[in-house]
Structure 1
Amino acid sequence: MTNLELDTVTVTQQGAVATLTLNRPDARNACNAQMCRDLLTATDQLGRDDSVHVVLVRGAGKAFCAGMDIKENKSLSSSDMLGRRALGFSAYAAIERLPQAVIAVVHGPSFGGGCEIAAACDFVLASAEATFCYPEVGWGTVGATQRLPRLAGTRMAKELLFTGRVFDAAEAKEIGLVNHVYQPDMLDAAVAGMAQKIAAAQPLTVRLTKRCLDQGVETTREGAMAIELLAIDENLRQTNWKDALAGFGNAGAPKGAPTTGSQS
């Protein structure tokens, strides 16, 4: 079981679901160097914990994450700033590489690095009160140029990055940054329901599916099919797939699941 109390991040676990909380509420969870290091520590432990099937990423207080800690960055030299940005890249990548399903739960402002943290998760569930912004260009820096266009497309990414405008959760959903938007009083129940549904699935199958998706979109179709075939082989060797198929049509089968048919 994973439970951590770090300087800027906490991790708690309930059943197969772990919650990683950005915990600098007085600074609107602005991402400083310590938070980057804490994220690396937390994700390392979570990634090695087989009892965790789903990870929720949340922010304490009124914001999800206000982005980089500007107060900290003002004191850095150019070379120190480059190292600091690389540390941030490492932290975001560590979230992205988690083998479990990772869901960002955005309930307030998510700016700059906060958007990168959310985009590093597998998908995002947001409150209708959530807001998003990519202010990097306005701050005189470069950032968010890779995950954003892969989610929203190059043209929309250019608009959001060049203008730095604030947009709401409804628009974030429309352009592909957010999967679902809920009223604030409904968000927690929706998150819990989805997390439990994913946690109840065969964990290796979820991990392999995630690996196929993440690796497949970055290669050719032929390469992606090879990746999937290797994952199918691993799944057949390491899971009770026959028992899962035998359960189709029984009381324990997913609602609406077919009782007959072919498997791709």
Structure 2
Amino acid sequence: MTDVTVSHDDADRFATVTIDRPDAGNAMSPAVIADLGELIEATAADDAVRSIVVTGADGTFSAGADVDVFAARADDPDAVIDYLDSFSELYARMEGVSVPIIGRVNGPAYGGGYELAMACDVRIASTDAELCPAELRMGIVPPFERLAMELGEGPARELCFTGGVLEAEAVADTGLFSRVVAPDRLDDAVRDIASRIAARSPNAVAQTKRAMIRHRADELARGQAYRHALDEQCVRHPDFAESVAAFREGRDPDYE
């Protein structure tokens, strides 16, 4: 059984890519990251598909990075960096496909899951949804770039410095989510957006996505490159190993 599935809605011409690891909080293992990238690209290449919905199974969007992978690589900083880079590569692949990607944020989106939601072109959230740049809790630098652009520098700084949780309902009147709706209305809201995209010129939609991605590409690239350099330092610092160990053991970290 695969941990990433694809289903198609022929009537409204969209496909749904679902992380299906509910017992692991839909955490993004290396295999999940690879499958997401491959399936999103393959699905986008289908002329019958006008948009792609990304979501998680059973009320959780994604818990983000698989902490067991961090733990297994804690003594190999280069392997940790490779794992972190794979997240950025996935989000670049999402931006590279021609069809819009709709984030169906149906619950908690932590760490890499938070950034997965932020990498979607459109985000529709349930009132149960929450975002958390949890990388700080693992002793590394949270991906802050898209959050700062979409929500604003002030709130983004607070969240990223604290590893705090942002409830979707609390930011319903900002531009972070296109819509924040009750859980029982989430699928209808997603379908409404997908059907309206399907009614437009696929060429014009593709070129609009290209223009929007390019509009902020340089700023994102600068921030990501600098963050990568800082993560190189973080994963070699004792705080990283202590953060991972404390998280797995369910205790407060003891930083020296």
TM-score under structure 1 normalisation? 0.77
Tell me what 1:17 maps to: 14
Where 1:74 maps in the other structure, the secondary structure is helix
1:46 to 43, 47, 50: 43
**How do residues 49-68 of structure 1 correspond to structure 2 at under 5 angstroms?**
49-68=46-65
Offset at 1:71? 1.5
What is aligned with 2:122?
A: 123
Query: Offset of 1:123 from its aligned partner?
Result: 1.4
User: Which of the pair has more CA radius of gyration?
Assistant: 1
TM-score normalised to structure 2 length: 0.79
Specify which structure has the bigger relative contact order, considering alpha-carbon pairs within 8 angstroms and separated by 6 or more residues.
2
CA distance in 2, matches of 1:91, 1:182: 27
Alignment partner of 1:102 is 2:101: yes
- Percent of residue pairs identical: 35
Partner deviation per Cα, 1:44-65 (whole Å, 9 max, x = no partner): 2123222210111111112100
SS at match of 1:132: strand
CA shift in 2, pair 1:70/1:179, >3 Å: same
2: CA distance between counterparts of 1:163 and 1:61? Answer: 28
Q: Which amino acid aligns with 1:161?
A: C
C-alpha distance in 2 between matches for 1:138 and 1:214: 29
RMSD: 1.7
Structure 1 residue 137, shift from structure 2 partner: 1.5
* 2:8–2:15 CA contact under 8 A, matched in 1: yes
Report what 2:154 is aligned to.
155
Once the two structures are superposed, residues 219-262 of structure 1 have per-residue CA deviations (whole angstroms, 9 ceiling, x without a partner) of 79xxxxxxxxxxxxxxxxxxxxxxxxxxxxxxxxxxxxxxxxxx
Structure 1: how far apart are the matches of 2:123 and 2:142?
A: 20
Q: How many residues align?
A: 215
Tell me which residue corresponds to 2:81.
82
Shift in CA distance, 143/167, structure 1 to aligned 2, threshold 3 Å: closer
Partner of 2:209: 210
**Contact kept? 2:123, 2:176, Cα under 8 Å:** yes
5+ residue gaps, structure 2, are 220-256
- Contact 2:99/2:205 (<8 A) preserved: yes
Is the partner of 2:124 in helix, strand or coil?
strand
